[in-house]
Structure 1
Amino acid sequence: MSTLTSPTATEASPPAGATLQAPPAPDTPLDAWQALALARTGDQLAQAWLGVLCHALLRARAGLVLMAQPDGAFAPVAAVPPGKELGHLAEVATEALRQRAGVLRHNAAGEALLAYPLSQADSLSGVIVLDLGPADAADAERARQLTHWGAGWLLDLMRQLDQARIHAGARQARVLLDTVLALQNEPGLREAGIALVHAVGREFGCHQVQLALAEGRTLRRQAVSHAAVSDDRSQQAALALQAMHEAFDQEQRLLWPEPPPAEGEVAVRITAGHARYAHEAGAKALCSLPLVAGHQAVGVLLLERDTPFSTGEAELLDALGPAVGPLLVLQREAGQGAVARLGRSLRSALGAATDGSRPALKLGLAVAAVVLLLLAVVPVPYHVSASALVEGAQQRAAVAPFEGYVREAPARAGDAVKTGQLLARLEDKDLLLEKTRWESELDVAQRKEREAMARGNRVDQRLAAAQANQARAQLDLATSKLERVAITAPFDGIVVKGDLSQQLGSPVEQGKVLFEIAPMNAWRVILKVDERDIADVRPGAGGSLVLASLPGQSWPFTVKKITPVSVPEEGRNQFRVEAELAGAAPKLSPNMEGVGKIDAGSASLLWAWTHPLLDWLRLAWWKLLP
């Protein structure tokens, strides 16, 4: 079906190839005046009114009513005869809309086409188009007058329908608001149920209203209006529950007596329980309304009265069910204990996991569960990671043999040295002078000893001999120091610490470490293992080392020693673990850092990833226990 867009002052013709075709005719046509009286919607009213105009008042061959749509276009809402192709009316309709005035045209065969705009409040509401067929001037003028008269009547009838629809919406909003406020003001579920059945009974003129709430897939009566005591074990109560179960199981509103199906509707509703209850209770009209919360029926209202429920009342009840259901659920949950709430949550989660909703999400969760199970069951090699430092297998210190001053220092950290190579030399001027002094003292003492011996003076001889021994000892000490002024490398290796090139002439104390030298072909790895993982490390365990400077290579090692003393570093206690590189030592340098992984058996990946947290939780729990 094509539409005619609202024209502007500059438009001269309708869209090319525009086609106007009315909706198909109803299966059972009614008399035009009777259809007008029974019209309940704008489209029904327009169709009935056009039938009266074309058949009862005029003898038009065809007619069409176009009404404005929310998007600004004009679409057919009624046509006579229904279902006929009416594209030839498009041009005259467009002209009437453009001019906002009636348009009458005659073709070469003397056939008349009449278009009359529907306008109100300076706005176009639509247009009426008639195909009058062969018509003289008098017939055309009569058709124009009747159309002008009928247009005002049609607009007034549509305005009345709009007002009735507004009043119905206002009543529906009032009923919903009053009912919701009445439920919210009640302290518990029982009081809310009683307030609900009485409010619904007053609003719809019912002599009895019953409320049943769902417990799983069964219903349990909660409240009955106009009854001081309710016997749930009576035959009538059982039949009422059966009737409400029909609406609960079918998840739709049920009316008894069942109204005839609407046009084109194929109704399949089971109301046998309603019939049995109506016969037992003597009710003339029943309505079972499911109360819905979250797309699920949580209860049913059963209304009884003496007159059938109208279409408007049924629509109001359909709006009441979703509004009341969540409030009753909240009232019931507020009165439940913690155990009941937990059970409800578990049932809800189980139901959401087993129903057919969100298949993609459930498939993803199932795959995640399988992956998690594999991570928890399948064992993989487990390693303890620790920061690593490379040191020489043995490290020798070159110290100052005595107090003195630095004369020269050709070696510095990083230099490769050979056995006996000079590292540094101390100043020896004072030692040479001291050696000369003690040599003189020795000569004097020896001469005195010889003179005393010649005189036979034993006392002077022994005194001179003692002075000679003292001078000889001091001379030996000075000679020894002179031999050690040159500090040399004890073996082939590399200087890992020490640089005196900027301290020439500075004093050094005896025993001060001047250089540290490590061999170049023997290394050891120092691993700093966290105290939480030290229990998994055993002497003799293997492992792999990766250095920060060589991240693409790894070297195997073997744990040799675990120091039983922890050292605090970076806020944690760490144990020093010594390991030896296996096989040929790679080309390394002292103090290289990296990461070492120590073999600690096998475990699941899930345990390996989560055991630090689990251990922390166990310790925290143990601390909290009294």
Structure 2
Amino acid sequence: MIISEPFIRSWFALQSQLISGLQHAYIDLHGAGVLPGGLTVSYPDNLDSTVELSLAAQLARRSGAPVTGTSISKEDGATILRIACPMQLGEHADGALVVEVKAPPDRQAAVLQLLKWGESWLNLALEQRDEEPESEGYKRLIQTGMAQKDYRDTVTVVLALLRVRTACTRVALGYSTENGVKLDTISELGELDFRSTRVKSIESAMTEALQHGSTVSCSNSDNDTGEFPQQRRLVESGSLSGVFCVPILQGLCNPLVICFEFANGFSHESSRRAVCEEGATIVAPLLELHREQKRPWLHRLKALCHEGIQQLLDVNGRQKRIGLMVFVLLLVLFAQSDGEYRVPASATLEGTVQRAVIAPFEGYILDARARAGQQVAEGDLLARLDDRELLGERRRLRAEQGELAEQHRQAVATLDHGKAKIFEAQLEQAQAKLSLVQDQLSRTELRAPLGGLVISGDWSRSLGVPVQRGDLLFQIAPLDEYQIVMKVSDKDIAEVKVGQQGLLTLSALPRDTVRFTVSGISTMAPVETIEPAFRVEAALQETLLGLRPGMQGVAKIVVGEHRRWWIWTHDLTDWLRLQLWRLWP
């Protein structure tokens, strides 16, 4: 594994808590566990100069023993202990550590002991990290890359972490184009000058590796320069010790090449080559995914169509694709054929004739024999109004009539013609009132005007309720004469004409259909409806057993022949035309 600068800084933070008075620290490490050229880290990171600390570290490393010294602080005159001791971090690295501590000279042994403990802790942490599976490091790399939202941020983070994982100097990424490989990014570099010789050398080396089809390596010590001249030119132009160019061809829509540059410490060892190939193979799908997401939708659509055409032309699974193409062809032909276009509408079954039974005068419900849903015959008693007041009025009028008749006879007998005329007029008036009461008594019994079904009216639980003259008490419709009332949307009403035929399916009789003919169309839609719908009436061409007024269902009016694709899509196209017209200036 590679010892990184953040790892050492976290260790410095722990040492500052253990060693009180720690002012400065400096570490210089070399070996297989650090990047080529070594690793130097200072604490704090804003030191003005580390020359003296570097010299002390070199002295301790050469002597192999701790080197100590003291100085006086210029700020407060306190004693500053400077201790430089060699460090051995197992097989990872070796070097030296220098610390400056504000403490008296008698604390020198205690500080040395704390530094030894810190070195032991550092070795233990490195051993635990060595025991960690290699896949865990790449797992964190992938998670870090996926956490980035922008493609450029993803590439920057992934290439930086990949450089650390492979212990190389730089990592370059390029994508395949029609003219070769186009350089996309170089780790730890912002903007690229694509006209520079350096960039062109990298692109040429990547193109050479892509044409070769497998990993290409080259070092400054190779004598044979004929097989991969572009790799040799890249090494020489960048003063590198060697390069690995790893092309990734399989599993990607667009092949890519990752180039690993080593300023020092390059070798053709299979382990180093395997590390670079493994890292390139792992990060390639992540980079390709983010790159595809960044591309405009039109480019993604073109790539998808190109991929679909290639799959159709592929030999594997040809029979399935031929079957799919035949199915699509048949579907297109079927869509181009003519079909019956029908306008759907909600429908209600009503009686052709509906007779109303209304209250003939003001009164009270005395008895109710029928209710909604009951079948009645012509003349059947439906309800009876209270006639007690009318009977009393009839008796009073009869008595008054008898009295007036007697007075009229006496006036005639006495030859009083004036009174006789008056009594005669009053007698005719009483007779008229009596006839009116008698007529009202005859209408207290409400009878069915025709045989059929009572479709509204239930007074059996409202006995004694007062009614006014003209109140609707019952509605009766015949059982053998029906019409269909449909509500057709305003979007389809222009297609509907009188005389057109259709089919009706009722919710109560879903297995049967009834044919009908349009007989009337309303000229305007009701204002109170939420969505404009026109009333369309139709006459039944046949009847079914079990039909009842008030049944609801779905009717479809046949309006003509159209192409099936138009039938399927005209609602959408009409809506789009309307929206375009609305937005058009």
CA contact (8 A) 2:367 2:384 kept: yes
Which is higher, the Rg of structure 1 or of structure 2?
A: 1
In the aligned structure 2, how far is the partner of 1:496 from the partner of 1:280? Answer: 97
- Aligned partner of 1:297 among 232, 252, 255: 255
Distance 1:315 1:515, change over 3 A: closer
Matched, 1:396 2:355: yes
In the aligned structure 2, how far is the partner of 1:178 from the partner of 1:596? Answer: 64
Deviations 1:196-254 (CA, angstroms, capped at 9, x unpaired): 8x979x9669xx998754334622356899xxx989698x9989866543421343113
Shifted more, 523-532 versus 474-483: the winner is 523-532
Deviations 1:79-115 (CA, angstroms, capped at 9, x unpaired): xxxxxxxxxxxxxxxxxxxxxxxxxxxxxxxxxxxxx
In the aligned structure 1, how far is the partner of 2:256 from the partner of 2:352? Answer: 79
Distance 1:578 1:586, change over 3 A: farther
SS in 2 for 1:355: helix
CA contact (8 A) 1:390 1:593 kept: yes
Distance 1:510 1:187, change over 3 A: closer
What is the letter of the counterpart of residue 301 of structure 2?
L
The Cα of 1:395 is off from its aligned counterpart by 0.8
- Aligned partner of 2:441 among 472, 477, 482: 482
- Aligned partner of 1:245 among 207, 212, 216: 207
In the aligned structure 2, how far is the partner of 1:622 from the partner of 1:566? Answer: 26
Aligned to 2:480: 521
Shifted more, 306-315 versus 280-289: the winner is 280-289
CA contact (8 A) 2:217 2:231 kept: no
What is the letter of the counterpart of residue 349 of structure 1?
L
SS in 2 for 1:553: coil
In the aligned structure 2, how far is the partner of 1:467 from the partner of 1:177? Answer: 117
Distance 1:360 1:622, change over 3 A: farther
CA contact (8 A) 2:514 2:543 kept: no
Deviations 1:593-621 (CA, angstroms, capped at 9, x unpaired): 33322224355666656666676677777
Matched, 1:465 2:400: no
- Aligned partner of 1:590 among 549, 562, 580: 549
What is the letter of the counterpart of residue 247 of structure 1?
A
The Cα of 1:353 is off from its aligned counterpart by 1.9
In the aligned structure 1, how far is the partner of 2:404 from the partner of 2:172? Answer: 136
In the aligned structure 1, how far is the partner of 2:431 from the partner of 2:564? Answer: 76
Distance 1:360 1:475, change over 3 A: farther
- Aligned partner of 2:526 among 561, 566, 585: 566
In the aligned structure 2, how far is the partner of 1:507 from the partner of 1:394? Answer: 28
Shifted more, 170-179 versus 449-458: the winner is 170-179
Aligned to 2:450: 491
CA contact (8 A) 1:562 1:578 kept: yes
Aligned to 1:542: 501
What does 1:406-445 align with in structure 2 at a 5 Å threshold?
406=365, 409-428=368-387, 430-445=389-404
CA contact (8 A) 1:422 1:488 kept: yes
In the aligned structure 2, how far is the partner of 1:417 from the partner of 1:622? Answer: 57
Distance 1:321 1:520, change over 3 A: closer
What does 1:10-21 align with in structure 2 at a 5 Å threshold?
none
In the aligned structure 2, how far is the partner of 1:387 from the partner of 1:593? Answer: 8
In the aligned structure 2, how far is the partner of 1:568 from the partner of 1:348? Answer: 53
The Cα of 1:458 is off from its aligned counterpart by 5.5
Deviations 1:370-407 (CA, angstroms, capped at 9, x unpaired): 57746754443233333332221111112232334556
Distance 1:280 1:525, change over 3 A: closer
The Cα of 1:467 is off from its aligned counterpart by 1.3
The Cα of 1:349 is off from its aligned counterpart by 1.9
The Cα of 1:410 is off from its aligned counterpart by 4.3
- Aligned partner of 1:381 among 330, 340, 344: 340
SS in 2 for 1:524: strand
The Cα of 1:581 is off from its aligned counterpart by 0.7
CA contact (8 A) 1:248 1:300 kept: no
Deviations 1:49-83 (CA, angstroms, capped at 9, x unpaired): xxxxxxxxxxxxxxxxxxxxxxxxxxxxxxxxxxx
- Aligned partner of 1:274 among 206, 214, 228: 228
Distance 1:456 1:223, change over 3 A: closer
What is the letter of the counterpart of residue 352 of structure 1?
E
CA contact (8 A) 1:243 1:273 kept: no
In the aligned structure 2, how far is the partner of 1:595 from the partner of 1:187? Answer: 55
In the aligned structure 2, how far is the partner of 1:410 from the partner of 1:176? Answer: 85
Matched, 1:322 2:281: yes
Distance 1:285 1:427, change over 3 A: closer
In the aligned structure 2, how far is the partner of 1:324 from the partner of 1:247? Answer: 18
CA contact (8 A) 1:544 1:554 kept: yes
SS in 1 for 2:433: helix
The Cα of 1:472 is off from its aligned counterpart by 2.3
Aligned to 1:152: none
% identity of equivalent residues = 31
SS in 1 for 2:512: strand
Deviations 1:108-145 (CA, angstroms, capped at 9, x unpaired): xxxxxxxxxxxxxxxxxxxxxxxxxxxxxxxxxxxxxx
Aligned to 1:342: 297
In the aligned structure 1, how far is the partner of 2:557 from the partner of 2:269? Answer: 82
The Cα of 1:354 is off from its aligned counterpart by 3.0
How many residues align? The count is 439
CA contact (8 A) 2:231 2:243 kept: no
SS in 1 for 2:550: coil
Distance 1:442 1:299, change over 3 A: same
Aligned to 2:182: 220
Aligned to 1:512: 471
SS in 1 for 2:214: coil
In the aligned structure 1, how far is the partner of 2:536 from the partner of 2:378? Answer: 31
Aligned to 2:216: 254
TM-score normalised by L of structure 1: 0.53
TM-score normalised by L of structure 2: 0.56
What is the letter of the counterpart of residue 515 of structure 2?
P
Unaligned runs of 5+ in 1: 1-165, 258-270
Distance 1:475 1:437, change over 3 A: same
CA contact (8 A) 1:289 1:318 kept: yes
SS in 2 for 1:551: coil
